[in-house]
Amino acid sequence: MDVIPTAELHLHVEGALDPELLARFARRNGIAVPDLDPGRYVYADLQQFLDLRDSDLAVMRTEQDFFELAEHYLAQARAAGVVRAESFIDPMVHLQRGVPIEAVMDGFGAAFAAARADGLSCDLIVCFTRDLGADAAQATLDAVPPFRDRFIGVGLDSAEVGWPPALFADIYARAASEGLRLVAHAGEEGGPDYVREALDALHVERVDHGLRAMEDPDLVARIADEQVALTVCPLSNVALRAVPDMAAHPVFAMLEQGVRVTVSSDDPAYFGGGVDENHAALRRAGATEEQLVALARNSFDAAFVDDAERARLH
Ligand code: ES4
Ligand code: ZN
């Protein structure tokens, strides 16, 4: 099956850390190689995945590690049909481990700049790790101005329940005033109220996941009416048990109800593959080629690019 050209709008670069890179970085940095048994990639919920991801990130120390991880994602993404990448990074997680912010921003930033110079449309989005709290998010926004040319927007990720969007309203207002684009994870674990709050308190331009918006018909009508994009990640949602199985994934209902829904891979090394594997899983669950092409068209419409670039992507 041919790859479907698409924009990948919901991808955590740290989630591309596969067993081969884990082993390479661990050896290079003199850290014990983690247990790489494939059984490690089974989760009861979001938190179990986040715990594994956090312990794996212990192998990442230097600017070169960050550069090679991003380079690896970008090469895989191109092969998977990605023609525009808007990719999340989580600087706070690395700063917490004592990695200097320069290693994170310059390593990731240089790999994205190199891919751009090589003809791939791609940009970074700095995420606030919501369960570290609003003060840490504020500190992150305070720390990144020297790297302002390396990213285009801010996002909000990690454990959702107990960390409602409104906690971060002032920080998002400041990010907006600095010309940054705004997105947030909402409605993956949290209910429809989290999605509504991301729209009303944070003024996000897209919602990452947004699955549980489907429980509230008025909210779905608004999202369809305003054409707020939802960046859903089918393999992630099944792996983290946000949905029972692929056939029951709300992406099908979203398309039927006129929602601007897109497909991305979230954390390709942890959930079973890139955007191409997500398309394949949707096909196996009954998605038609027309539906997959509609999802890709939505991704171009939802991308943070100018009109000329959007026309080129379409
Ligand atoms: C994440 Cl909330 C969430 N879901 C999937 N991957 C993630 N990486 C960081 N936060
Ligand atoms: Zn995510």
- 125-152: pLDDT as tens digits: 999 999 999 999 999 999 999 999 999 9
Distance CA 12, CA 177 (A): 25
Q: Which of 127, 267, 278 to mutate to test the pocket of ligand 1 (most atoms within 8 A of CB)?
A: 267
Which of the residues in the chain have pLDDT under 50? none
CA-nearest residue for atom 10, ligand 1, is 158
Distance CA 84, CA 74 (A): 10
Q: Which of 51, 185, 195 to mutate to test the pocket of ligand 1 (most atoms within 8 A of CB)?
A: 185
Number of alpha carbons in the 13 Å side-chain half-sphere of residue 149: 3
- pLDDT of 2: 80
* Catalytic-residue membership of 215: no
Closest CA to 204 of 8, 9, 5, 7: 9
**Ligand 1 geometric centre to CA of 88 (Å):** 9
Q: In this structure, are residues 211 and 242 in contact, taking their beta carbons and an 8 Å threshold?
A: yes
CATH number of 6-304: 3.20.20.140
> Which parts are annotated binding residues?
10, 12, 185, 266-267
Does ligand 1 have an atom closer than 6 angstroms to the CB of 157?
Answer: yes
Strand, helix or coil at 200? helix
The identity of residue 211, as a single letter, is L
- Show the tokens assigned to 109: 């930033």
Distance CA 121, CA 280 (A): 24
- pLDDT of 225: 98
**Ligand 1 geometric centre to CA of 174 (Å):** 23
Does ligand 1 have an atom closer than 6 angstroms to the CB of 10?
Answer: no
- pLDDT of 297: 98
For residue 288, report the phi and psi dihedrals to the nearest 5 degrees: -90, 165
Residues in the chain: 314
- pLDDT of 214: 98
Distance CA 255, CA 213 (A): 14
Ligand 1: nearest atom to the Cα of 189: 2
- pLDDT of 149: 97
- pLDDT of 1: 60
Catalytic residue among 68, 86, 188, 189: 188
Distance CA 5, CA 7 (A): 7
Q: Where do the structural domains in the chain lie, given as residue ranges?
A: 6-304
Ligand nearest to the CA of 186: 1
